[in-house]
Amino acid sequence: MSYLEEIQVKNLDHLGIVAGLIDEIGIVKIINNKLGIDVREKISAGTVVKSILINGLGFVSRPLYLFSQFFQDKAIEKLLGERIKPDYLNDDKIGRVMDELYKYGLNDIFIEVVLEVIKKFKIDLKYSHLDSTSFHLDGEYKREEDKEKQEEEKNIKERPIFIKKGYSRDHRPDLKQRVLDLITSQDGDIPLFVRVGDGNESDKAVFGKVLVEFKKQIKFDSIMVCDSALYGQENLQLIQHLKWITRVPMTIKKAKELVQNIEVEEVKDEDKEKRSDLNLESYTWKEEIVTYGGIKQTWLIVLSEKRQKSDLEKLEKQLSQEEKKSQKFLKEIQSEEFEHPQAARYKLKAINKKLRLLEIKEVELIETYSKKKEKIYKMISLIIKKDEEISRKTKEAGKFILATNLVEENKLEASEILITYKNQQSTERGFRFLKDPLFFTDSFFVEKPERIETMLFLMSLCLLIYNLGQRELRNCLKRVKKGINNQVGKVTLRPTLRWIFQCFQGIHYVILNGVKQIVNLTEERRFILSLLPASRQRYYL
């Protein structure tokens, strides 16, 4: 036997951390308990799911038919178990497992994983954040019209999603969409609830129902935080038994009046330091008790200095652009010859519809004759500012309204309402992660709507694992009061888990003459591993 035949070198990198997190949560056990284990199979459904999650957090974009290639140079027996071979993870096996997951119920499986995470890792559920995004698909996804009409009458849980054109958050309205609703904890951005919706679904139509369904599944007394899509009379009635914070849309008459007429309170000297500590020094506000949709609420009218400056700059820019546009329109209408007075006024009305802050006003309509001696009309006009509209926008600059039904019992401080709503970025960070080009499902490659739903379920599990790992690492660093160097060499207590993954590149699993060992464990890597639980350490030490 030659020397080369006596040595095997496989990449381990950061994948041991991922595998350890999956083990610690107990995902393989949960999947196997749900789907069962067939003793004739070489690899269980739970292990297949583990391999997909490892692939997904390997940040290598590969379609399913190349999936097994991902593990060709990886320490697969170390990560997935002895006697597991890469060719066990073929597209047929993965497809069957995905179909079994869908048939069992993706929501039921996800909720069980989430409940286990909440219990094991003591996730604080005081606040939960809801938002939605869309993903575009390149395929046709045609369905029979009569079948679609029949399915629309059924409950949303009883049918696959409809892949349709709709509002695209990715700015691809030319492609068909599917929607993902996501609820995360404020503590660590942990996904608590996911729901896949039709491509043309409206947030306003489903957000109330999503929150009600969430509270049925996760029986914790959480304050729900959402954007203005939630705020409507029907939704408020639907969630009146829940606690919530949301933003009030400026299309509501009462909101317009308050923003126009109420002045926010001046900050007292004794409050300035407190607001600075909370990073709210650029905000002022005023509280009002309002009843809307039959629900008594606290409305917090907030003025942001930074946003006010930005809004006023945008207003000035818009005014400048309209001045140029209106000069062009003025020249056009004053040079045109009209056969009838009403034709001139109709043209003027059409032009003014294109302007928001300015208006072209008729001064005089002159009756004269053309070169052909035909009677014509010419309009003399001038440009005027819409002072009332400009004043309204100026008063609204930098202002927005937050609402909560926590009015008397469990009443929140105004600063807490504002800070909590600002943390709505929790879901947005999750969406950025899911849409990252390095993520394994950046380009969807499955054709059945059922498998698209299953893939989004698996993506959401990846997000849960990633955010949980990041939360645990940051909590450990905070506890030992010792940071690590970030990408620019500065010590931080809040590194991203992606940076930790990069730090672990180049770790190998080596078998030399039957002796197994891990190489390239530097002092920094050992320190990071020392912060992690044994479930993750065992893949390296």
User: What are the CA-CA distances from residue 394 to residues 180, 308, 313, 357 (Å)?
Assistant: 36, 9, 10, 12
CA–CA separation, 215 vs 460, rounded Å?
19
* The predicted structure's pLDDT at residue 79: 94
Which structural domain, as residue segments, surrounds residue 311? Answer: 247-405
CB-based contact 499:486 (threshold 8 Å): yes
CB-based contact 260:396 (threshold 8 Å): yes
Q: Which helix (H) or strand (E) holds 112?
A: helix 106-121
* Torsion angle (degrees, nearest 10) of CA 368, 372, 375, 376: -70
CA–CA separation, 506 vs 304, rounded Å?
47
CB-based contact 247:421 (threshold 8 Å): yes
DSSP 409: T
**Residues with Cβ within 8 Å of residue 103, at least 6 apart in sequence:** none
* Torsion angle (degrees, nearest 10) of CA 442, 94, 189, 436: -10
Mean pLDDT of each 10-residue bin along the chain, 541 residues long = 70 95 96 91 94 86 64 92 88 91 93 95 94 68 45 47 51 64 93 79 79 84 92 92 94 92 78 85 93 94 95 96 95 92 94 95 92 90 94 93 91 94 88 73 58 88 95 94 90 93 93 88 93 92 77
Q: Tell which residue, 105, 110, 109, 113, has the closest CA to residue 25.
A: 113
Any domain includes 146: no
* Torsion angle (degrees, nearest 10) of CA 352, 357, 362, 363: -170
pLDDT tens-place string over residues 308-347: 999 999 999 999 999 999 999 999 999 999 999 999 999 9
Any domain includes 264: yes
* The predicted structure's pLDDT at residue 201: 67
* The predicted structure's pLDDT at residue 438: 65
428 burial type by CB count under 10 A (0-12 exposed, 13-18 middle, 19+ buried): middle
CB-based contact 283:265 (threshold 8 Å): no
CA–CA separation, 190 vs 109, rounded Å?
16
Q: How many helices (H) and strands (E) does the chain have?
A: 21, 15
Any domain includes 211: no
pTM: 0.84
* The predicted structure's pLDDT at residue 285: 94
Any domain includes 265: yes
Any domain includes 300: yes
**Residues with Cβ within 8 Å of residue 171, at least 6 apart in sequence:** none
Q: Tell which residue, 120, 246, 116, has the closest CA to residue 192.
A: 116
**Residues with Cβ within 8 Å of residue 267, at least 6 apart in sequence:** 275, 284
Any domain includes 7: no
CA–CA separation, 34 vs 101, rounded Å?
9
**Residues with Cβ within 8 Å of residue 193, at least 6 apart in sequence:** 110, 111, 114, 181, 182, 183, 210, 213, 214, 217, 218
Write out 238-304 in H/E/C secondary structure: HCCCCEEEEECCCCCHHHHHHHHHCCCCCCCHHHHHHHHHCCCCCEEEEEEEEEECCEEEEEEEEEE
Any domain includes 522: no
Any domain includes 113: no
* The predicted structure's pLDDT at residue 69: 81
Q: Tell which residue, 172, 238, 183, 182, has the closest CA to residue 205.
A: 238
Count of domains in the chain?
Answer: 1
* Chain centroid to CA 538: 34
